[in-house]
């Protein structure tokens, strides 16, 4: 029984983290129909930023995630202004290839500046803290990350559903020209969406430095899972991303423990394929 | 004026061309290009970079006069009457297909005389197959899959002990602990990356365990570069083996250790193959969490002081300035392979691949950077003097605990629980 609870908790905590990583991607993809191939590298940049803030200034990731969020908001907005904007409306694959180039640039820049060494923050406030719950061990850093994920997701959801800016984002996603006719500055909406997308992954990356090693390749599998989450949950849907991420976290966890650890990603991608075949726009797609 | 300008340009052109011709002639005549093919990006990049730095250090020893280092070819400049080694780097990213194409590029386009590589056994396998087909030499330092030297290749030479040798040593150590320390180790768990290296290590572990009556109660492969190892460690914890053999490289190793801490579980002992355990950079990041784990090693600063004093000189002069850390058990073996290759070229007296390969197959080579002190290859390319010891780490210090001949400290056994550290 304790094994079951442990696997369940692990799955939920992983899932909530995946949801936060995927939320930003979902917005970019859903609103702008732009696939940001550099999403995993955004995560890596945030992790490096919070790692160095912790290492040099001694500020714990429990607080430096704010810097991660703000910095990645700026990186996201800059990416739109300098790269995406110039590639939109050109060849169909231009934005995708441009962000692919950006991902290579960021990865190799970090590789060059910081070497491929694995860097792990020691002595953080939450390091190694655990507690028992229903016979299972809960990792405090992962739990806190999951709670923050949920809070940020709720915040973004509230922004989109309950504010005028959010309505403008939805309108832009549905019909850009009609939104412009209604007086919405779609340029700024795009900029904001890329910024918020970056901020989400920035917060996730910042918090992850409490328990995961930072290295130039750290974003790889996370971004792959984020793509699956977005496609599974539905492009642009925050509740969809949350549901899909939890599903993926749980499938990964249960398949990994009850079938075989080596098939956990096989199970994740198999479910993704089945859902996409049955419902191509995802579970909660706009 | 116009004529003068033209004349000047013509003279400059001639000068530039003659310089190019001279330099290419020099390059063609006096340089031996050696390819180094390692994972310079990807999950094992740290180790790959260390391997490259190690080969570069060996090249410096050969290329420059180092009368202070008592090693073959160190005192003179270059080899073969003035030839210098030029290292050509290539990155296989830890991917077998990339390793194959990069090996082809190195041999066919870069025209390297030989390739040294490739850390990941899964990459070494296809890259060395390219060499074998082209009848070119492939020197392998630390890839440990036993399968690599079971192919009867003629141009492949490997320094490291295989997983088979290490597995046998690990269970001998367990037998020693059971007999001398009343350890009561009866069950074994295996956690390994699902690659050529990991799978072969696990196979050999199964064989060795069967031989001595150890019961394997958990066999856990995982995908390298994973986002988490929760299920994997939970599976181990549920089976609760007395001993665990691990084969997790770089970041996966630190994730494995941290996840065990998170679930508050440890076996009585954990012994690692050629993995993140041997990498001081990984251990530094793990700090105290890495303590009391064990692993097979062919080098440690402590061993070097007693058995490899010249390696310490080379380390201080050419390796540490590049890597900011001492040699590790993996990277040092890549340097050995360049020294051995250079000695074979020197003995052959030419750059005839067949002659050099024949010398590699038949001669014994002194090696100041090998624990055994010499290197000799059997048919198939395995170094018959390959030797490793089992060390245990505490406060970033690797202490030899087995075999008894090399023992410097008593093992801390069972491992200190997480809540008592």
pLDDT in tens, A261-273: 888 889 988 988 8
What tokens were used for A97? 């290839």
Closest CA to B207 of B242, B241, B166: B166
Number of residues in chain B: 421
Alpha helix stretches (DSSP H) within chain A = 2-32, 39-52, 61-79, 85-87, 94-114, 140-162, 164-174, 176-181, 186-208, 219-233, 238-254, 264-278
Question: CB–CB of A217 and B45 under 8 A?
Answer: yes
Residue B22 lies in a domain: yes
C-alpha A262/C-alpha B232 separation (Å) is 8
Quote the DSSP letter at residue A216.
T
Q: Is residue B126 domain-shared with residue B62, that is, in the same domain?
A: yes
Residue B247 lies in a domain: yes
CATH code for position B184? 3.40.50.2300
Which regions in chain B score pLDDT beneath 50? 1, 3, 7, 10-11, 13-15, 17-28
What tokens were used for A257? 């423990």
Which residue in chain B has the smallest CA separation from A7? B231
- Chain A residues touching residue B49 (CB < 8 angstroms): 115-116
- Which residue in the set A7, A222, A262 is minimally distant from B222, CB to CB? A262
Q: Is residue B232 domain-shared with residue B343, that is, in the same domain?
A: no
Number of residues in chain A: 286
Q: Is residue B95 domain-shared with residue B154, that is, in the same domain?
A: yes
How far away is chain B from the Cα of A139, in angstroms, using its nearest Cα? 6
Strand arrangement, sheet containing B31-38: B84-91, B31-38, B114-117, B137-140, B156-158
Closest CA to A65 of A107, A35, A20, A100: A20
ipTM of the complex: 0.78
- Chain A residues touching residue B194 (CB < 8 angstroms): 262
pLDDT-based confidence at residue A255 (cuts at 50, 70, 90):
very high
Q: Is residue B409 domain-shared with residue B336, that is, in the same domain?
A: no
C-alpha A163/C-alpha B159 separation (Å) is 66
Residue A284 lies in a domain: no
**pLDDT confidence of residue B318:** 96
- Which residue in the set A116, A221, A257 is minimally distant from B234, CB to CB? A257
Closest CA to B218 of B195, B234, B200, B198: B234
C-alpha A213/C-alpha A46 separation (Å) is 13
Cβ pair B181, B372 in contact under 8 A: no
Which residue in chain B has the smallest CA separation from A140? B262
Burial B193-225 (b: 16+ CB within 10 A, else e): bbbbbbbbbbbbbbebbeeeebebbbbbbbbbb
Establish how many alpha carbons lie within 13 A of residue B179's alpha carbon, considering only the half-sphere containing its beta carbon. Answer: 7
Question: CB–CB of B235 and A264 under 8 A?
Answer: no
Cβ pair B281, B258 in contact under 8 A: no
What tokens were used for B314? 């080379």
Question: CB–CB of A215 and B286 under 8 A?
Answer: no
Q: Is residue B141 domain-shared with residue B170, that is, in the same domain?
A: no
DSSP-based three-state secondary structure for B270:
strand
CA B233 to chain centre: 27
Burial B400-413 (b: 16+ CB within 10 A, else e): bbbeeebebeebbb
What is the pTM for the complete model shown? 0.78
Residue A78 lies in a domain: yes
Closest CA to B282 of B393, B193, B118: B393
Q: Supply φ then ψ for residue A212, to 5 degrees.
A: -120, 145
**pLDDT confidence of residue B19:** 45
- Which residue in the set B220, B226, B251 is minimally distant from A213, CB to CB? B251
Q: Which residues of B touch A (CB under 8 A)?
A: 40-43, 45-46, 48-49, 194, 220-223, 225-232, 234-235, 238, 250-251, 254-255, 258, 261-264, 281-282, 285-287, 289, 418
Largest CA distance in chain A: 59
A85 touching B (Cβ < 8 Å):
no
pLDDT in tens, A117-168: 778 888 888 887 889 888 888 989 999 999 999 999 999 999 989 999 999 9
B294-297 and B269-272 strand pairing:
parallel
A129 touching B (Cβ < 8 Å):
no
Residues 6 or more apart in contact with residue B185 via CB below 8 angstroms: B174, B177, B178, B214, B242, B243, B268, B269
**pLDDT confidence of residue A286:** 57
pLDDT in tens, A38-49: 999 999 999 999
Domain that holds residue B134: 12-161+307-376
C-alpha B380/C-alpha B403 separation (Å) is 27
Residue A238 clears pLDDT 50, i.e. is over it? yes
- Chain A residues touching residue B257 (CB < 8 angstroms): none
Q: Is residue B156 domain-shared with residue B18, that is, in the same domain?
A: yes
Q: Is residue B344 domain-shared with residue B404, that is, in the same domain?
A: no
My answer on whether omega of the bond before B118 falls inside 30° of 0, hence cis, is yes
CA-to-CA dists, residue B353 to B25, B100, B350, B358, angstroms: 21, 20, 9, 8
Domain that holds residue A177: 2-278
**pLDDT confidence of residue B280:** 80
The CA-to-CA distance between both ends of chain B, in Å, stands at: 84
**pLDDT confidence of residue A28:** 84
Residue A210 lies in a domain: yes
Question: CB–CB of A221 and B225 under 8 A?
Answer: yes
Q: Is residue B130 domain-shared with residue B250, that is, in the same domain?
A: no
A104 touching B (Cβ < 8 Å):
no
Establish how many alpha carbons lie within 13 A of residue B360's alpha carbon, considering only the half-sphere containing its beta carbon. Answer: 31
- Chain B residues touching residue A260 (CB < 8 angstroms): 221
Helix (H), strand (E) at residue B66:
none
Q: Is residue B230 domain-shared with residue B356, that is, in the same domain?
A: no
Quote the DSSP letter at residue B366.
E
Mutate to test the interface with B, among A2, A219, A261, A266 (most CBs of B within 10 A): A261
CATH code for position A88? 1.10.3470
DSSP-based three-state secondary structure for B34:
strand
A217 touching B (Cβ < 8 Å):
yes
Residue B2 lies in a domain: no
CA B104 to chain centre: 22
Q: Is residue B401 domain-shared with residue B267, that is, in the same domain?
A: yes
Q: Sign of the CA dihedral B249, B250, B256, B261?
A: positive
Residue A108 lies in a domain: yes
pLDDT in tens, A171-224: 998 888 899 999 999 999 999 999 999 999 999 999 999 888 888 888 888 988
**pLDDT confidence of residue B18:** 45
C-alpha B204/C-alpha B142 separation (Å) is 17
Question: CB–CB of B49 and A116 under 8 A?
Answer: yes
Residue B384 lies in a domain: no
List B389's β-bridge partners, or say none. Answer: B297
Cβ pair B41, B91 in contact under 8 A: yes
Residue A93 lies in a domain: yes
A41 touching B (Cβ < 8 Å):
no
How far away is chain B from the Cα of A226, in angstroms, using its nearest Cα? 12
- Chain A residues touching residue B48 (CB < 8 angstroms): 116
What tokens were used for A263? 């098939």
A115 touching B (Cβ < 8 Å):
yes
A6 touching B (Cβ < 8 Å):
yes
DSSP-based three-state secondary structure for A96:
helix
CB atoms within 10 A of CB A113: 9
Residue A286 lies in a domain: no
Closest CA to A237 of A27, A39, A28, A22: A27
Q: Is residue B278 domain-shared with residue B336, that is, in the same domain?
A: no
Number of domains in chain A: 1
Closest CA to B264 of A87, A129, A204: A129
How far away is chain A from the Cα of B182, in angstroms, using its nearest Cα? 31
CA-atom Rg of chain B in angstroms: 23
Q: Is residue B293 domain-shared with residue B314, that is, in the same domain?
A: no
Question: CB–CB of A130 and B45 under 8 A?
Answer: no
A256 touching B (Cβ < 8 Å):
yes
* E-assigned strand segments in B103-168: 114-117, 137-140, 156-158
Number of domains in chain B: 2
- Chain B residues touching residue A216 (CB < 8 angstroms): 41, 45
Closest CA to B247 of B196, B176, B316, B314: B196
Helix (H), strand (E) at residue B30:
helix B2-30
How far away is chain B from the Cα of A258, in angstroms, using its nearest Cα? 9
Mutate to test the interface with B, among A116, A131, A144, A258 (most CBs of B within 10 A): A116
Quote the DSSP letter at residue B292.
T
My answer on whether omega of the bond before B414 falls inside 30° of 0, hence cis, is yes
C-alpha A55/C-alpha A121 separation (Å) is 7
Arithmetic mean of pLDDT over chain A: 89
Residue A205 lies in a domain: yes
Q: Supply φ then ψ for residue B8, to 5 degrees.
A: -60, -45
Residue A285 lies in a domain: no
For tokens 């599976």, the residue is: B235
Quote the DSSP letter at residue B43.
T
Closest CA to B228 of A261, A78, A115, A37: A261
């Amino acid at each position: 029984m304790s094994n079951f609870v442990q696997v369940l908790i692990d799955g939920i905590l992983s899932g909530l983290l995946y949801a936060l990583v995927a939320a930003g991607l979902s917005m970019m993809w859903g609103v702008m129909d732009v696939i940001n191939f550099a999403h995993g590298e955004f995560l890596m940049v945030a992790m490096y930023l919070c790692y160095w803030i912790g290492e040099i200034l001694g500020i714990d990731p429990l607080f430096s995630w704010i810097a991660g969020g703000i910095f990645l908001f700026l990186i996201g907005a800059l990416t739109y202004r300098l790269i995406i904007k110039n590639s939109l409306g050109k060849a169909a694959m231009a934005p995708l290839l441009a962000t692919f180039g950006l991902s290579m640039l960021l990865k190799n820049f970090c590789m060059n500046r910081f070497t491929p060494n694995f860097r792990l923050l020691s002595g953080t406030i939450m390091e190694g803290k655990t507690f028992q719950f229903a016979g299972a061990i809960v990792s405090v850093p992962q739990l806190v990350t999951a709670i923050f994920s949920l809070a940020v997701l709720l915040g973004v959801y509230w922004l989109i559903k309950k504010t005028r800016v959010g309505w403008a984002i939805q309108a832009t996603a549905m019909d850009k020209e009609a939104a412009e006719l209604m007086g919405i500055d779609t340029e700024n909406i795009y900029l904001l969406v890329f910024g918020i997308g970056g901020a989400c992954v920035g917060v996730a990356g910042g918090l992850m430095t409490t328990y995961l090693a930072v290295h130039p390749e750290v974003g790889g599998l996370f971004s792959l899972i984020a793509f699956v989450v977005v496609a599974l949950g539905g492009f642009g849907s925050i509740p969809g991303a949350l549901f899909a991420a939890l599903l993926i976290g749980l499938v990964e966890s249960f398949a990994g423990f009850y079938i075989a650890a080596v098939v956990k990603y096989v199970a994740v991608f198999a479910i993704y394929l089945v859902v996409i075949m049955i419902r191509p726009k995802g579970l909660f797609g706009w | 004026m116009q004529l003068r300008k033209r004349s000047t340009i013509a003279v400059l052109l001639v000068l530039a061309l003659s310089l190019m011709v001279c330099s290419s002639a020099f390059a063609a005549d006096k340089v031996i290009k050696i390819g180094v093919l390692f994972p310079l990006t990807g999950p094992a990049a740290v180790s790959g970079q260390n391997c490259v730095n190690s080969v570069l250090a060996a090249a410096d020893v050969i290329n420059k006069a180092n009368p202070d280092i008592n090693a073959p070819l160190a005192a003179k400049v270059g080899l073969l009457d003035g030839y210098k080694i030029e290292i050509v780097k290539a990155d296989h990213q830890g991917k077998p297909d990339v390793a194959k194409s990069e090996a082809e590029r190195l041999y066919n386009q870069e025209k390297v005389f030989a390739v040294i590589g490739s850390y990941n056994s899964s990459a070494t396998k296809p890259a060395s197959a390219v060499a074998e087909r082209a009848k070119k030499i492939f020197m392998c330092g630390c890839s440990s899959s036993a399968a690599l030297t079971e192919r009867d290749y003629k141009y492949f030479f490997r320094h490291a002990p295989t997983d088979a040798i290490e597995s046998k040593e690990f269970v001998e150590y367990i037998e020693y602990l059971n007999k001398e320390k009343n350890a009561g180790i009866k069950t074994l768990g295996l956690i390994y990356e699902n690659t050529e290296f990991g799978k072969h290590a696990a196979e050999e572990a199964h064989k060795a365990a069967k031989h001595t009556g150890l019961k394997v109660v958990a066999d856990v492969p995982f995908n390298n570069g994973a986002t988490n190892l929760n299920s994997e460690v939970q599976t181990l914890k549920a089976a609760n083996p007395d001993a665990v053999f691990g084969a997790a490289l770089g970041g996966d190793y630190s994730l494995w250790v941290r996840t065990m801490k998170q679930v508050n579980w440890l076996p009585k002992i954990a012994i690692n193959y050629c993995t993140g355990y041997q990498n001081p950079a990984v251990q530094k990041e793990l700090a105290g969490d890495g303590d009391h784990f064990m692993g097979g090693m062919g080098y440690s600063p402590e061993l070097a002081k007693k058995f490899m004093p010249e390696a310490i000189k080379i380390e201080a002069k050419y390796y540490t300035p590049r890597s900011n850390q001492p040699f590790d058990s993996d990277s040092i073996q890549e340097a050995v392979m360049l020294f051995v290759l250079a000695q074979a070229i020197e003995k052959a007296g030419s750059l005839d691949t067949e002659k050099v390969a024949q010398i590699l197959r038949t001669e014994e080579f002194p090696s100041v950077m090998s624990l055994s002190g010499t290197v000799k290859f059997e048919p198939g390319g395995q170094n018959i003097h390959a030797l490793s010891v089992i060390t245990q780490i505490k406060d970033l210090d690797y202490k030899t605990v087995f075999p008894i001949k090399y023992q410097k400290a008593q093992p801390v056994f069972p491992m200190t629980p997480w809540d008592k550290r």
